[in-house]
Amino acid sequence: MAGYAVVVELKDGSARKVTLEMLAEARRLAGDSGGEVAAIALGALAPGEAERLASYGADTIVHVEGESLAPYATEAHAAGVKAAVDRAKPETLFLGATSQGKDLAPRVSARLRVGLGSDCTGFELRSGDLIAKRPIFAGKAFAKVSWNAARPRIATVRPNTFTPLQPDGSRKAQVEKVSMPDVKARARVVGFEKSEGEMLDLTEANIIVSGGRAMQGPENFEILRKLCKVLGATLGASRAAVDAGWIDHSHQVGQTGKVVNPTVYFAIGISGAIQHLAGMSSSRTIVAINKDKDAPIFKVASYGIVGDLYQVVPLLTEEFRKSLKE
Ligand SMILES: Cc1cc2nc3c(=O)[nH]c(=O)nc-3n(C[C@H](O)[C@H](O)[C@H](O)COP(=O)(O)OP(=O)(O)OC[C@H]3O[C@@H](n4cnc5c(N)ncnc54)[C@H](O)[C@@H]3O)c2cc1C
């Protein structure tokens, strides 16, 4: 019986970074309570992936196989997770607070009739009870949640919150195969479209450069794309820019966009409305560029530049280009 289990989020058969982050946190908690950590993988794994999961902290890989698991379908994956939970019997089950995890976790929790803590950013054990911290009221406050006696406790974990362990190639995991019957899914994902060239997904990005209404049109986002290129950053946007049709909704950060958690977030020509803050206020460092010194974004910013973005951003880009070359 595993103390903790992590549902592996796969992309082309390889675990996404959020999985490695959850394994690290599960390992830390398991270390405190002496439990084991299982990784639940659904569908085909790339060669060497089970070994990779072991090196990042999994003691057991519960590998669920079945025709219905590809392409992704909520009902099939929920049935797959249930089959794995029946096998591994974890006390606690983590899923990423990603598009997929947010789709899957409520279904799994309803199916197992257990509680779900969503979008958690911290965990602690108090006399054997797991307490999770989750941002509420658009990041203005934190709630601490615990679970009743039903097991497993399910939590979705905000990406970029925890740091993956250093991989240890000497760690080995036992692989347990679980097969599942065919599930008739009412809806399936038919494909993925890459939104912006080589940029990382917003939820996985370490650095994000976001533009708001002050960009005035789609053409001016080129200024931000140049900065992104120099920094290896991902491009984000406020809803004002998205609603104006200047940039695709997949770039929107905020309450009705994506919740991001990068190391550095640049808010450029963005006022800092509460709905925007809901998506980015947990970023480790926030850099705001705004010509209005009283803009609310400066209240959450670690660094602020009061100035016209059309002068400041090209200068910054040039300075970063020079210093990163050195
Ligand atoms: C239910 C609901 C959900 C919402 N969800 C979201 C969401 O997910 N994400 C989101 O972002 N918003 C969301 N909004 C909208 C939100 O309330 C704001 O309207 C929006 O965030 C404003 O975008 P903005 O900061 O780009 O524009 P503005 O508020 O217009 O701010 C533009 C800023 O640019 C500055 N500026 C202008 N020119 C320059 C220049 N040349 N150089 C530097 N600075 C300049 C101005 O001083 C100003 O501070 C939501 C609203 C509602 C009601």
* Nearest alpha carbon, ligand 1 atom 29: 271
Q: Are 150 and 85 in contact (CB under 8 A)?
A: no
Average model confidence (pLDDT) across the chain: 94
Tell whether 166 is in a known binding site.
Answer: no
* Residues 282/284/287/292 CA torsion (nearest 10 deg): 30
Q: Is 252 in the pocket of ligand 1 (CB under 6 A)?
A: yes
Please return the burial class of 213, using the count of CB atoms within 10 Å of its CB with bins 0-12, 13-18 and 19+.
middle
- % of the chain exceeding 70 in pLDDT: 97
* 172 C-beta neighbours (distance < 10 Å), count: 12
Per residue in 183-229, pLDDT (tens digit) is 988 988 888 877 666 688 899 899 999 999 999 999 999 999 999 99
Q: Is 311 marked as binding a ligand?
A: no
User: Is residue 27 in contact with ligand 1, taking CB distance under 6 Å?
Assistant: no
The residue ranges of DSSP E strands in 150-233, in sequence order, are 153-157, 174-179, 207-211
Q: For ligand 1, say whether the CB of 164 is within 6 Å of any of its atoms.
A: no
Structure tokens at 123: 């965990």
Q: Are strands 4-7 and 37-42 parallel, antiparallel or unpaired?
A: parallel
Tell whether residue 242 is among the known ligand binding residues: no
Q: Return the ligand 1 atom nearest residue 255 CA.
A: 8
* Residue 258 to residue 77: CA distance in whole angstroms: 23
CA of 214 to the centre of ligand 1 (A): 9
* Inter-residue contact 39 to 173 (CB < 8 Å): yes
pLDDT at 32 over 70: no
Count helices and strands (H / E) in the chain. Answer: 9, 17
| Token reading at 151 | 């097991």
User: What structural domains does the chain harbor?
Assistant: 4-179 (3.40.50.620), 202-325 (3.40.50.1220)
CA of 211 from ligand 1 middle (Å) equals 9
Q: What is the Å distance from ligand 1's center to 238 Cα? A: 6
Q: Is the CB of 291 under 6 A from ligand 1?
A: yes
State yes or no: pLDDT of 238 exceeds 70: yes
Q: Which atom of ligand 1 is nearest to the CA of 256?
A: 8
Give the pairing type, strands 10-11 and 14-15.
antiparallel
Residue 230 CA to ligand 1 centre (angstroms)? 25
pLDDT at 259 over 70: yes
CA distance 151 to 153: 5
Length of the chain: 326
pLDDT surpassing 80 at residue 1: no
pLDDT for the residue numbered 196: 66
To the question of whether residue 174 is assigned a binding role by annotation, the answer is no
Quick check: CB of 132 below 6 Å from ligand 1? Answer: no
Render 67-125 in DSSP notation, one character per residue. Answer: GGGSS--HHHHHHHHHHHHHHH--SEEEEESSHHHHHHHHHHHHHHT--EEEEE-EEEE
Give the distance, in angstroms, between the CA of residue 261 and the centroid of all CA atoms in the same chain. Answer: 8
Instruction: Answer whether residue 33 shows pLDDT above 90.
Output: no
241 CA distance to ligand 1 middle (Å): 8
Using only C-alpha atoms, what is the Rg of the chain?
Answer: 21
> What is the tens place of the pLDDT at every residue in 84-107?
999 999 999 999 999 999 999 999
- Per-position b or e across 267-280, b if 16+ CB within 10 A of its CB: bbbbbbbeebbbbb
Distance CA 277, CA 71 (A): 34
- pTM of the predicted model as reported, rounded to 2 decimal places: 0.87
Take atom 49 of ligand 1 and give the residue whose Cα is closest.
271
The angle subtended at Cα 105 by Cα 110 and Cα 15, nearest 5°, is 150
Q: Is the CB of 275 under 6 A from ligand 1?
A: yes
